[in-house]
Chain A
Amino acid sequence: MNRVIFGTVAAAALLAGATAQARDVTIGMQLEPPHLDPTSAAAGAIDQVLYSNVFEGLTRFSSDGSVGPGLAESWEISEDGLTYTFTLRSGVTFHDGTDFEATDVTFSLDRARAEDSVNAQKALFANIASTEAVDATTIKVTLTNPQGNFLFNMAWGDAVIVAPESIENIKSNPVGTGAFKFSDWKQGDSISLEKNMSYWGEAAKLDGATFKFISDPTAAFAAMMAEDIDAFYVYPAPENLAQFEADPRFTVLAGNTEGETIMAMNNKLPPFDNKLVRQAVSHAIDRSAIIDGAMFGYGTPIGTHFAPHNPAYVDLTGNSSYDPEKAKALLAEAGFADGFATTLKLPPPTYARRGGEIIAAQLREVGIETEISNLEWAQWLEQAFKGYDYGLTIVSHTEPMDIGIYARPEYYFQYDNPEFQQLIADLDAENDPAKRTEMMQEAQKIISEDYVNAYLFQLAQTSVVNSKLKGIWPDAPTQAVDLTAVYWEE
């Protein structure tokens, strides 16, 4: 008898031990979300806090970037590729207790594509002709044209499902269906989430999470070293990473992002309207010097506007290999044997500021003098992006699969190639994966061979994580800190 009791007590103690493992986590981030509605702003910080944790879409990105079922359990695509019939999961509730139903999906999609919509990625929804809630768990979406990446588009943070009941206060009190509930926002300091006890899927292993916003790199270093925070997502000072790597308390995660870092050229502004000049600029740049010098070795060289970890990527870095002599010869051929002067406008991120200094020195070697101006984002948007008032500029394009921007002649680098525009239109309508891959590769080649921009490197994501914290995504297929599978190792 005694033994039985002892056994029970031991089992209870073990159980208690097992549950005690569940803990909170504090994640450091540099930028704070402006508000908490992922469907009405471009700020990556909103998705980083809320994507998949609080809000879910019909489909979702996995850690490797593949798209799988989210709130939609399964789907059927009609023969002509125009009708998508989604079967929704049943028994799903929003955090405020209301049921998740097909009407919530139609509400979300219709809101995003409405005329007065302020969705930062409204183009994702442009092709939707109509939405229809067939019954509580079935929804039919009809497209205007077939669209090969529709399911991919629906996985974006800008396409998450929101409820009409809670939309009014979404900016300060987000109500979703995810494994975590929003709990508190101390503006300027932190956002906390707590575990959703009635989650439809596998419950979160953490009890809660706090995102703490620390913009200053030195402060980030101090907070990490003092173990005030458990992980710093996208650590802002690459020069400290070696120190963290050497410290057994921490692990440095270096992964891929969707950020193609390019030096954009103003394709309509002389002399960059001359392809020879653009080609010369591309050959004048030594990518590895930039990756080593500005990014402390983190980053993958690219030769076109496409993520190297994507199966459809073609390595075209050879088109613009580092060759200053060739660059000089091309400049002479274009009529600029003595070089020329232009502007180099740099937004705030370190890749631009540090990379810009190195590029300026490299361009000087071939006779191109650049006048560097450091701009804030708002100034950059006004001058370079909207006003086309720049010669060269450095930006990382972090949206996944965004080669389509080259088909927009009014886009800031002003590349206007009807052949390319047609190719992208065809690609959008194509459903066959093999053909899509072929077309994506063709698109990569066209912009690489046209030397539209100088393609520098794929931005790496480097995070510093407490060695006992497991399950943080090393790669960033979208801007998300997905905590649903994160746990503490004993």
Chain B
Amino acid sequence: MLRYTVLRTGSLLISLIVASLVIFFTLEVVPGDPASFMLGINAQPETIAALREELGLNLSPWARYVGWVTGLVQGDLGVSYTYRTPVAEIVAERLVISLPLAGYALALTILIAFPVGIWAATRRGSVADISVMGATQLGIAIPNFWFAMLMVLVFAINLRWFSAGGFPGWDEGFWVSKKALTLPAISLALPQASILARVMRSSLLDTLDQDYIRTARAKGLTKGQALRGHALRNALIPVLTIIGLQFSFLLAGAIIIENVFFLPGLGRLVFQAISQRDLIVVESVVMLLVFAVIMVNFLVDLAYSWVDPRLRGRR
């Protein structure tokens, strides 16, 4: 077990170091200068030089890399070139929207996908199954930003039940904020739920065909008992893998939905930072996301062994 932990930590560290090198030096070759961007087309060259000096951009790339990584290790993400505030503060402000939004969307995804997937799987070939398959196909095919705009049109402009976008802040109260995140969460959840429902269905169908289910049924369990007691748990492994991937995606990949609802989330922060060449923000956020993805995968691994005791022995 100790050897496993050491190996595991070692590979984690190597992944992080490689990621940091790739992230830093890829962005290094992107043309564009944050100081020129800030000062615009009327600035004099010496003013730009003064700002570059102030921002520490005149140091060699290696010196900046080492400075950045040393900071990261100590939990310091650096100071944004454009906003001039610590990156950690900016990211924290965005995370209070992105994390709950991703969690909300994922919860909706699971709440829709599990019952629908199970329902379809237990009625294989029936009209119900076929219509679920058709509906999920549609759910995947519909671009979520289009669906989002449709919802804005109906619920914000015509019915006025929701505001068209924006985020009032958690200090306005939990329900107010939750309401502001509802339309975005539904738009995000729709395609994800469709994918997950299909995975749930096919995985469950696979397990329902297994010999042990037949044995369980032969022992006298009802269809429902066999499903709950044996099939469901075994069918969860691929579902968990997908959930893990979906959470990482929802955390970083909600940018289009953030734009439609003008939510100040992580995706928009990265997008803005790239266009302003605020590289330190991009680097630190991407690094954080890499870390988050690695952690999510680690948790998914743990969850595997929880649902399938056979996996515990393999270590």
Give chain A's interface residues, CB within 8 Å of chain B. 32, 34-35, 40-43, 115-123, 171-172, 186-190, 212-216, 218-219, 222-223, 225-226, 228, 376-379, 381-383, 385-386, 395, 397, 399, 402, 405, 412
A residues less than 8 Å from B11 (CB atoms): none
From B164, B260, B263, contact of A225 by CB (8 A): B164
Are B43 and A223 in contact (CB-based, < 8 A)? no
Could you name 12 residue pairs across A and B whose Cβ atoms are closer than 8 Å?
A34-B82, A35-B84, A42-B39, A116-B50, A118-B50, A186-B169, A188-B93, A214-B262, A216-B259, A226-B156, A226-B157, A228-B166
Residue of B39, B82, B277 ringed by the most chain A CB atoms within 10 A? B39
Select from chain B the residue with minimum beta-carbon distance to A42.
Answer: B40
From A115, A186, A379, contact of B31 by CB (8 A): A379
Docked pose: A187 CA to B97 CA in angstroms: 12
Query: Given A187-B90, A218-B149, A377-B275, does the pair A386, B43 have CB atoms closer than 8 Å?
Result: no
Are A172 and B42 in contact (CB-based, < 8 A)? no
Confirm or deny: B137 has a beta carbon within 8 angstroms of a beta carbon on chain A.
no
Beyond A214-B166, A381-B36, 13 additional contacts (C-beta under 8 Å) are: A34-B83, A35-B83, A120-B43, A190-B166, A219-B261, A222-B149, A222-B157, A228-B166, A378-B275, A378-B276, A381-B32, A381-B33, A382-B36
> Which residues of chain B (32-74) have a CB below 8 Å from chain A?
32-34, 36-44, 47, 50-51, 53-54
Are A43 and B38 in contact (CB-based, < 8 A)? yes
Confirm or deny: B160 has a beta carbon within 8 angstroms of a beta carbon on chain A.
yes
Are A43 and B275 in contact (CB-based, < 8 A)? no
Select from chain A the residue with minimum beta-carbon distance to B163.
Answer: A228
Are A219 and B164 in contact (CB-based, < 8 A)? yes
A residues less than 8 Å from B47 (CB atoms): 117-120, 122
Are A385 and B157 in contact (CB-based, < 8 A)? no
Confirm or deny: B165 has a beta carbon within 8 angstroms of a beta carbon on chain A.
yes
B residues less than 8 Å from A228 (CB atoms): 156, 163-166
Residue of B33, B42, B277 ringed by the most chain A CB atoms within 10 A? B42
From A42, A116, A225, A381, contact of B42 by CB (8 A): A42
Are A376 and B163 in contact (CB-based, < 8 A)? no
In the assembled complex, the CB of A401 is this many whole angstroms from the nearest CB of chain B, namely 11
In the assembled complex, the CB of B152 is this many whole angstroms from the nearest CB of chain A, namely 5
Docked pose: A32 CA to B268 CA in angstroms: 12
Closest 4 CB pairs of A and B: A42-B40, A188-B264, A378-B32, A34-B82
Are A216 and B260 in contact (CB-based, < 8 A)? yes
Select from chain B the residue with minimum beta-carbon distance to A188.
Answer: B264
A residues less than 8 Å from B90 (CB atoms): 187
Query: Given A42-B38, A118-B47, A214-B262, does the pair A188, B169 have CB atoms closer than 8 Å?
Result: no
> Which residues of chain B (75-101) have a CB below 8 Å from chain A?
82-85, 90, 93-94
Docked pose: A66 CA to B164 CA in angstroms: 39
Select from chain A the residue with minimum beta-carbon distance to B52.
Answer: A118
Query: Given A120-B47, A216-B262, does the pair A43, B165 have CB atoms closer than 8 Å?
Result: no
In the assembled complex, the CB of B279 is this many whole angstroms from the nearest CB of chain A, namely 10
A residues less than 8 Å from B84 (CB atoms): 35, 171-172
Are A172 and B164 in contact (CB-based, < 8 A)? no
Query: Given A34-B276, A216-B262, does the pair A383, B31 have CB atoms closer than 8 Å?
Result: yes
Are A41 and B31 in contact (CB-based, < 8 A)? no
A residues less than 8 Å from B93 (CB atoms): 186-188
Are B31 and A121 in contact (CB-based, < 8 A)? no
B residues less than 8 Å from A187 (CB atoms): 83, 90, 93-94, 264
Docked pose: A212 CA to B242 CA in angstroms: 36
From B82, B259, B277, contact of A215 by CB (8 A): B259
> Which residues of chain B (136-170) have a CB below 8 Å from chain A?
149, 152-153, 156-157, 160, 163-167, 169
